[in-house]
Amino acid sequence: MLLQIDVNSEEALYTQLANQIRYGIARGYLQPDDPLPSVRNLASELGINMHTVSKAYNKLKEEGIIIINRSKGVRISSKVFADRKTGYETILEEKIRQLVSQSICNGIGEKRFLGVVENVFKKMRSGE
């Protein structure tokens, strides 16, 4: 799978990387048990530092999305789609509350907001 980074983005590099991997999983480009490149190889491909890749991997590891094994490498967790109920829905609701507040202040109401969400899901199912 193609991963790319925008060094001019305001978003932190390791966050961009983690997002891209989650996105790849959500679209089905990355599947359970699929291997990921080593920290050194991916860093080299992207032209960034090894530790930055390592930081992204460890963030995903904490979320239970990938499995890191010293000497075996990194792979997508076989239970990646399982409902791990780690209180994620509470975090999600708070983030959505912020997005909804901001949307209302920008003239975007419930119908239009739901339309954007459905559109994102549709694109995701069709693989972009």
Scanning 69-77, 92-100, 106-114, 120-128 for contacts with DNA by CB under 7 A, the matching segment is 69-77
Which of its own copies, DNA, none does residue 121 bind to, with CB < 5 to 8 Å depending on kind? its own copies
Judged by CB under 7 A, the residue of 3, 21, 30, 48 near DNA is 48
User: Is 63 buried (19+), middle (13-18) or exposed (0-12) by CB count in 10 A?
Assistant: middle
Residue with tokens 């999600």: 92
Interface with its own copies (CB under 8 A), residue from 38, 63, 68, 73: 63
Could you tell me which stretch among 23-31, 35-43, 44-52, 67-75 binds its own copies (CB under 8 A)?
23-31
Give the β-pairing of 35-36 and 66-69.
unpaired
Edge to edge, the sheet with strand 66-69 lists 35-36, 73-76, 66-69
CB atoms within 10 A of CB 100: 14
Q: How many residues bind its own copies (CB under 8 A)?
A: 41
Subset of residues 8 to 37 that bind DNA, contact rule: CB under 7 A: 12-15, 36
What secondary structure letter does DSSP report for 64? T
Looking at the Cβ atoms of 44 and 119, the one nearer to its own copies is: 119
